[in-house]
Amino acid sequence: MAYAILLDTRFCTGCNTCFYKCVQENRLHEVATNGNTRTLVYINDTGMYHHRCMHCLEPTCVANCPKQALTKTEYGPVLWDADLCVKCQTWVEQCPIHIPMFDEAQKKIVKCSMCAHRNFDGDKEAQPACVEVCPTGALSFGERNAMVSEAKKIAKEANLNTYGLEENGGTSLLILTKEDPTKVGYPQVEKSGSSGGGSNPLAIGGAIAGAAVVLGGAYVGLKKYGERKNDIEKNNKA
């Protein structure tokens, strides 16, 4: 059974609780200090963008890894095997959604694993750490077909845009947003996946560029966080 995460950005305040929990859950403190993250929320003047692996159904990264260090599991996550990886970064640069980062200091790939170590394929009560701690319920988790149906239903009722239903062959992270997804940070990609993608500027830049992105995102995020939180609270009271 395949699983997916559904993100309804209407309820996301940009608090980045998901980021902090991810760092704690996966012991990524040093990697995060280097400016590389598995998940991070950016808020800008055009809307909100969640930078994290989409776990594509037809992953370009898996198709382009020369050492088969990546696997698309039957239950959803795309997983990286450090023992098989030769650190060539070929698939990092081919990701059409520009997600994976390469930590030069740690010599490791940084990407979301959807907390596969929690064994949610075997434990029906388990869920990814980010979903577990989201304080506003912006993140939900479940069987992918059910999440797709829910995303379509909400999008129709609330007149929202979707991202991930078809992009790059479909993904295991589904996005709902009032804004045009391609205007807030999600790249415009082909509807089918597995072929080569474009170069990944976040990965090529390494830890220094990653740190700049994190700091820049934090600065803008702090500026917008209060405004967005107030808007959500007003909508909830209405």
Averaged confidence pLDDT in the chain: 84
Domains along the chain with CATH numbers: 3-237 (3.30.70.20)
Please state the rounded mean pLDDT for residues 89-111: 89
Rounded distance between C-alpha atoms, residue 213 and residue 219, angstroms: 10
38-70: per-residue pLDDT in tens? Answer: 999 998 888 889 999 999 999 999 999 999 999
Q: What is the pLDDT of residue 233?
A: 61
117-160: per-residue pLDDT in tens? Answer: 998 777 778 999 999 999 999 999 999 999 999 999 999 999 99
Q: What is the pLDDT of residue 46?
A: 86
Burial class (CB in 10 A: 0-12, 13-18, 19+), 135: exposed
Question: What's the pTM value of the predicted model, to 2 decimals?
Answer: 0.81
Six-digit token pair at 105? 């200091």
Nearest to 10 by CA among 158, 133, 143: 158
Largest CA distance in the chain: 54
Please state the rounded mean pLDDT for residues 6-26: 94
